[in-house]
């Protein structure tokens, strides 16, 4: 069946034919829909969904997303609640349950419409239109330059906002994996803070640093409704050792600009499907690791944990063994190539297990606040970077 199907009897219709939309309608029976997720183009990755369900207000919907045991991160579905919004501004969590034994792994979402339509997504979407608004508004602020570093495979610009009068080159990049939309919400919070002339942490950073911000490394995957890859099915966070114009022009143009500027500090912003926490991953396994470089990373991590209860150091990825870092990944490559204090920031698709919010779970608002905490932490120790 198509991804735009209507049940005449119940007047339930489901579609994903819009920016970042992704769902396949397998069938509709009254107010129950059986759905599946389309794979990324030229890839076996799938996990991101985003669709609209329309029916008369008061309709109690049952939405069954099937086949999820074969998804990219099947451990991500347990204790996960689908995001839902009726105004596309405020996103909350719908009642959801996962049964690994039903129809190849099924997430069942139950929701009663308050109006005549609701949008459901794996996380609150960050649209390409909002991205253009973000770069336009930030680029219009005093002292901010908007550069177009290159083009994606589909011809979309790779935008970079540059600001600050200091000498230290600081880089922030996000959405290498397009389904991790919390990363661009983080970027909105960062830019809002950095362009606020009254924010003392921002003023300190801008005086000490030249800051380079790429809010969306993968606009093609974002628009196509991909989880993890660009238009050609390439995972951009496995291209940093040898990006090419044919496979990964998005990484190539950003790394070329980094070669021009140098990198003292870098943060690659992501989301993690399975771990219900905010955490950092570092570069412990790079061949050229230096004691001072590693000490700066650990001090940043530990200081951030003191600043905000939304961040913790207990849960996360295992450290790479000495000499075993994957240099195709941004954090390891930037630490090795430039001697940077580099890190990957991960936010949850689920709720934060230490600071749960039953209504929203992890949210755009918390992502934006985390950005402010991350930047304030950097401002505290910028002299040491």
DSSP 8-state assignment for residue 160: E
Backbone angles phi, psi at 160, to 5 degrees: -135, 125
Tell the burial category of 244 from Cβ atoms under 10 Å away from its Cβ (0-12, 13-18, 19+): exposed
> Shortest CA distance to 150 belongs to which of 245, 247, 259?
245
Residue 371 to residue 369: CA distance in whole angstroms: 5
Tokens standing for residue 19: 């920016």
Tokens standing for residue 82: 């689908």
Q: How far is CA 343 from CA 232, 259, 269, 280, 350, in A?
A: 26, 18, 9, 6, 21
Region for residue 316 given its phi and psi (left: phi exceeds 0; alpha: psi -120 to 50; beta: otherwise): left
Contact 29, 56 (CB under 8 A): no
For CA atoms 119, 120, 123, 127, give the dihedral sign.
Answer: negative
Q: Buried (b) or exposed (e) across 11-42, using 16+ Cβ within 10 A? A: ebbbbbeebbbbbbbbebeebbbbbbbbbbbe
Catalytic, out of 86, 188, 346, 365: 346
Active site residue 346: yes
Q: Which long-range CB contacts under 8 A does 25-30 form with residues at least 24 apart?
A: 25/1, 26/1, 26/66, 27/1
Pairing between β-strand 60-65 and β-strand 32-36 as defined by DSSP bridges:
parallel
DSSP bridge partners of 60: 112
> Shortest CA distance to 364 belongs to which of 82, 124, 51, 132?
124
What is the chain's Cα-based Rg? 21
* Residues identified as active-site: 346
């Amino acid at each position: 069946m198509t991804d735009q199907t209507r049940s005449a009897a119940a007047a339930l219709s489901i579609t994903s034919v819009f920016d970042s939309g992704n769902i396949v309608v397998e069938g509709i029976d009254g107010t129950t829909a059986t759905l599946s997720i389309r794979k990324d183009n030229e890839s076996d990755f799938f996990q991101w969904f985003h669709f609209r369900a329309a029916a008369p207000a008061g309709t109690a919907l049952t939405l069954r997303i099937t086949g999820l045991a074969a998804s990219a991160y099947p451990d991500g579905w347990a204790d996960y609640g689908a995001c839902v919004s009726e105004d596309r501004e405020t996103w909350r969590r719908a009642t959801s349950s996962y049964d690994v034994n039903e129809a190849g792994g099924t997430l069942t979402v139950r929701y009663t419409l308050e109006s005549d339509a609701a949008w459901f997504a794996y996380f609150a979407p960050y649209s390409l239109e909002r991205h253009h608004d973000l770069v336009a508004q930030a680029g219009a602020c005093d002292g901010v330059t908007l550069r177009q570093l290159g083009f994606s495979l589909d011809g979309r610009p790779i935008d970079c906002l540059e600001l600050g009068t200091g000498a230290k080159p600081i880089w922030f990049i996000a959405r290498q994996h397009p389904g991790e939309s919390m990363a661009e919400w983080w970027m909105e919070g960062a830019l809002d803070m950095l362009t606020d002339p009254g924010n003392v942490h921002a003023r300190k950073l801008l005086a000490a640093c030249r800051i380079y911000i790429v809010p969306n490394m993968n606009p093609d995957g974002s628009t196509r409704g991909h989880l993890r890859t660009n238009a050609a099915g390439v995972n951009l966070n496995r291209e940093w050792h040898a990006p090419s114009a044919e496979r990964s022009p998005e990484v190539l143009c950003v790394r070329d600009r980094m070669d021009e500027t140098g990198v003292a500090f870098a943060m690659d912003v992501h989301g993690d499907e399975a771990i219900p926490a905010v955490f950092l991953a570092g570069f412990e396994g790079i061949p050229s690791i230096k004691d001072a470089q590693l000490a700066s990373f650990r001090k940043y991590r530990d200081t951030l944990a003191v600043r905000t209860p939304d961040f913790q150091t207990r849960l996360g990825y295992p450290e790479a063994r000495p000499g075993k870092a994957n240099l195709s990944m941004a954090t390891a490559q930037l630490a090795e190539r430039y001697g940077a204090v580099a890190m990957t920031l991960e936010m949850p698709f689920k709720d934060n297990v230490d600071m749960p919010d039953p209504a929203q779970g992890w949210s755009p608002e918390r992502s934006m606040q985390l950005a402010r905490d991350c930047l304030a932490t950097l401002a505290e120790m910028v002299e040491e970077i």
